Amino acid sequence: MNEDYGSLSTTGSGSALNALNRLGELTQSSALGAGQALDQSKNVVPLEIEKHLERSTPEDERESQIIIDILRDDYNQYESEADKRKREAILGKLDGIIKEWVKFAGRKDGKDQETIDNSGGKIFTFGSYRLGVHSPDTDIDALCVAPRHIERTRHFFGELSEILKNHPSVSKLTEVREAFVPVIKMKFEEVDIDLLFARVEYKEVGQDLVNLLDDNILRNCDKESIRSLNGCRVTDIILKLVPNKENFRTTLRVIKLWAKNRGIYSNVMGYLGGVAWAILVANICIICPYLSPNKLLNYFFKAYSEWEWSSEKPILLTELQNDRTKVDFAVEQDLFYEKRSTDLMPIITPAFPSMNATYNVSQSTKRVMLIEFEKGLRITNCLLKRDERGSKFYPDLTWKRLFKKANFFKTFVHFIQIEILSKTDEFHKKWTGFIESKIRKLLQQLEKLNDIKGNFMEFRPWPRSYHLTNPTFEFNDTYFFGIRIKKNDSGMQMRVDLTETIKIFYKKLKEWIKLDEKLMTLIINKQVDIQVNYKRREQLPEEVRPKDAALYNLNDVSLGKRQNRQTAEDAENEMRDDYQEEIV
């Protein structure tokens, strides 16, 4: 194959302070005392950092209001008052169901009447909803906190799940028992809810339990409960640390929308999830307490594009919460963050015990995110640039440019297509969840092959799934990896066969499936399947194939010929890849 990228085939520790300081702006030393902002968690010690003293101008305030208007009017990122009241009502109803279920479980287990009447049970929210940055189509992350006589398997996944399945307001309920954090997923009055569970060592969980910040809430909790509780604890600590909550929320809304549109918002795929993005934004807001969102965004991209990402330099909002002596009870060792050389972009949660929110990041996804950080910096630099009269240097450039979607299928010539197939909706939810948790293992195999072959390939997992048509399976979620093949040092086009790499992934999948009897039964009965195939751009399914795929391929061949007359740097600048893109 004569093309520019070669050919593929198959046969069958710290804040972003240092980066900011390099800007040469005025800073001063400032320590936020323990307990000053975190009165409910006195053992959490914020880092002593130098704060950036630049202050917002009236123009910054106007520019930031423009950003808010764009988020609201062009991208529907704010819910209406009616939607807000609906979500609050749903959470109230769910809280009532939880309380009645705890009483039911107590009666069924023969508890005394006082215990039955006073056991309680309570719903807490976390994630985007709790942070106040959710959009109308965002799900609600909720945590059910129950007293010590309520068990996860027998009560939560047993009795409560059955109660919810039979509730007229609930639909599409799925239990994900084997997840890292077990969850019940459902629609409640058409609002998506992810419901987690934590059993705490309290006889009663009443209304006086207003938050979960006290570390003693973790006493005698299992690992799943601690992980679930820390979702709420991390969210609340972030909100208490940021000096200006509204500026934080606006900035985080922008970053979340930007990351989703650029295809880098997905913990499962090896990018960053909601917690990690929130920590990165909070970090900038703490360092720059007096700036408006327009400037905070620019500092965000500058700081993290220049940050020396490695296991030696994790991002921290507080002192590392790994001191086991701060509590008088045992916490399992593997819950604590420990530095590993394989941690490529460590972002550490601020609640005890500290955990790494980015353990899934790979070399490929790290490269993609750094490219997007650099591009975000170029865009915001252009948006903020002024001429000698103080007027915008690029008057036609608006903040909508930051939200331009990445054109994934035009960017690459080569793809891996991963089809997750099922015959029923019920089977598909379980099967899709399982495969999604393993897709990054395929990326790891591809990266190993690349190491062996001399690092002439680049990979970009695309986090969006597509519902394609399949003649045998009604339910289909398909993911894609984009692959770029560079020339070697001699200028020769490279060829590589992915057959063995895909076979290894299949083999490992079989080993994992054998550990789950239900999945094994579905495979044997041919109720589910997975198909992994190489595709050139012109071979992509019609649903995703660019309209001018053949024309793009002609341009690719022409570009390949021109590369022989160019330096490697010049050729790279002309390549239609995921980095080179017009800003203005």
Active site residues: 128, 139, 141, 194, 256, 265
Tell whether 24 is in a known binding site: no
- In the chain, the amino acid numbered 76 is N
Whether 13 contacts 311, CB under 8 Å = no
User: CA–CA separation, 128 vs 138, rounded Å?
Assistant: 8
Is beta strand 140-146 parallel, antiparallel or unpaired with respect to 191-199? parallel
Residue 139 annotated in ligand binding: yes
Strands (DSSP E) found in 434-511: 457-466, 475-485, 495-497
- Under a CB-based contact definition with an 8 Å cutoff, are residues 283 and 361 in contact? no
Secondary structure (DSSP) of 499-524: HHHHHHHHHHHHHHHTT-HHHHHHHH
Cβ contacts of residue 223 below 8 Å, gap of 6+? Answer: 332, 334, 335
For 248, the 3-state DSSP assignment is helix
CB within 8 A of 407, min separation 6: which ones?
A: none
Per the CB < 8 A criterion, the answer to whether 498 and 9 are in contact is: yes
Answer yes or no: are the C-beta atoms of 105 and 159 closer than 8 Å.
yes
Give the tokens for residue 89: 């009502």
Tokens standing for 71? 């988020």
Adjacency order of strands within the sheet including 183-188: 122-126, 140-146, 191-199, 183-188, 170-176
- In the chain, DSSP finds a helix count (H) and a strand count (E) of 18, 13
126 among annotated binding-site residues: yes
Angle, helix 517-524 to helix 425-436, in steps of 10 degrees: 120
169 is in an annotated binding site: no
Check the annotation: does 112 bind a ligand. no
Give the C-alpha separation, 374 to 502, whole Å: 33
Angle among Cα 435, 441, 446 to the nearest 5 degrees reads: 125
> Which value, to the nearest 10 degrees, does the dihedral of the CA atoms of residues 289, 295, 297, 301 take?
-100
User: Which tokens hold the place of 481?
Assistant: 């990896």
The three-state secondary structure class of 411 is: helix
CA 366 to chain centre: 13
Tell me, rounded to whole angstroms, the distance of Cα 386 from its chain centroid. 34
Q: Which residues contact 338 (CB under 8 A, 6 or more apart)?
A: 322
140 is in an annotated binding site: yes
DSSP string, 372-399: HHHHHHHHHHHHH-B-TTSSBSSTT--G
Residue 376, both tokens: 């975000």
* Strands (E) located in 389-456: 414-422
The annotation places the binding site for ATP at 126-128, 139-141, 194, 256, 265, 274-275
The annotation places the binding site for Mg(2+) at 139, 141, 194
